[in-house]
Amino acid sequence: MAADLRGAPRTGVAVVACGDAHVANFGLFASPERRVVFDLNDFDEAGDAPWEWDVKRLAASMHVAGRDKGMTEEQCGAAARLAVRGYREALDELLSLSAVERFAFQVEVEAVAPMLEEAGREELRRTVRKARRRTSERVVRRITTRTADGRTRIVDQPPVTQHVEHATVEQLTTLFERYREPLRADVRLLLGQFTLVDHVLRVVGVGSVGTRCYIVLLEGPAGEPLVLQVKEAVPSVLATYGGTADALPSGLVPVGGVPAQVGASSPRSASSRRTRTRSSGGRPSRPTRARSGAGSTTTGGSSAT
């Protein structure tokens, strides 16, 4: 996609782009205040790029998704045009707000429901009910076991997840500590109460084949669980295929490509830098959240976002 767009016409206006803004990368997430919001959930390819690229990626994905659902070409084209129109109208609406209002803006689930037909609203209600029931505690009960000495350990589920020896708890703890450093003060204080107790290697999706990904289990002062995902950071395709600089504006990234454009679907930082921490073998990695609840990580029923 980035190679295709590289030579396409552009206005010259760059933004902090998602880099992979297809329709399946949007979803429902629990905010730090435990409200369910609609947001993006994948920033592995985030970068400084022309605004047109994300919009074209979204429009193309709407057409492809329509084909997958059995829609006609006319219906697919209409869906793509509606997505682009929605972008234009939402941008116009946001420009009428103040800078503070834009910073705090979120698309809450209550705003999504009126846009759907009855079947869509019922599906939304089912999704929200299911999301609210999914907490870190439920995830941990499903993927962990207790050892004879009472310790919690992640259960191997090969070939998807399994314990490995090429990364130690100590190395991942160092990575976790470096991840915390640039985060917002209250988030840094919260995460400082957790200790990494176990980790497994996880097989990643097609887009990340060949990179390392770990699921790590941390415990708080009362034994409450927190599950995070650690992913190897690689250059954005916006740079390798699109020809843009592999960098983001200063202050937008905690560790790797997680920009401040994220609403509820990623930990926020007040100030930071684009850095790449190192896992074993000198490979750059960045911690991200494992999905729990409506895409959030929770601790004892409270969000760790």
Residue 101: which pLDDT band, with cuts at 50, 70 and 90?
very high
Residue 273 pLDDT level (bands cut at 50, 70, 90): very low
Name the maximum alpha-carbon separation found in the chain.
63
Q: Tell me the HSE value of 280 on the side-chain side, using a 13 A CA sphere.
A: 14
104: confidence class by pLDDT, cuts 50, 70, 90 = confident
Sign (positive/negative) of CA torsion 229, 234, 237, 239? positive
pLDDT digits (tens, 9 = 90+) for 20-74: 999 999 988 776 667 788 888 888 888 889 999 999 999 999 999 999 999 999 9
Question: From start to end of 181-242, where are the E strands?
Answer: 195-202, 213-219, 225-232
What residues contact 266, with CB distance under 8 A and at least 6 apart?
Answer: 43, 258, 288, 289, 305
Tokens of 268: 């926020």
Helical H segments across the chain, by residue range: 2-6, 51-68, 73-95, 99-104, 109-112, 118-133, 136-143, 169-180, 185-191, 237-240
Question: Taking Cα atoms as reference points, which of 231, 225, 240, 249 lies closest to residue 301?
Answer: 225
Nearest to 131 by CA among 31, 213, 60, 202: 31
Residues 210-264 pLDDT 10s? 888 999 999 999 988 888 888 887 888 999 999 988 766 544 444 434 444 444 5
Task: Give the other-Cβ count within 10 Å of 242's Cβ.
Answer: 21
What is the C-alpha to C-alpha distance for residues 305 and 186, in angstroms, rounded to an integer?
A: 10
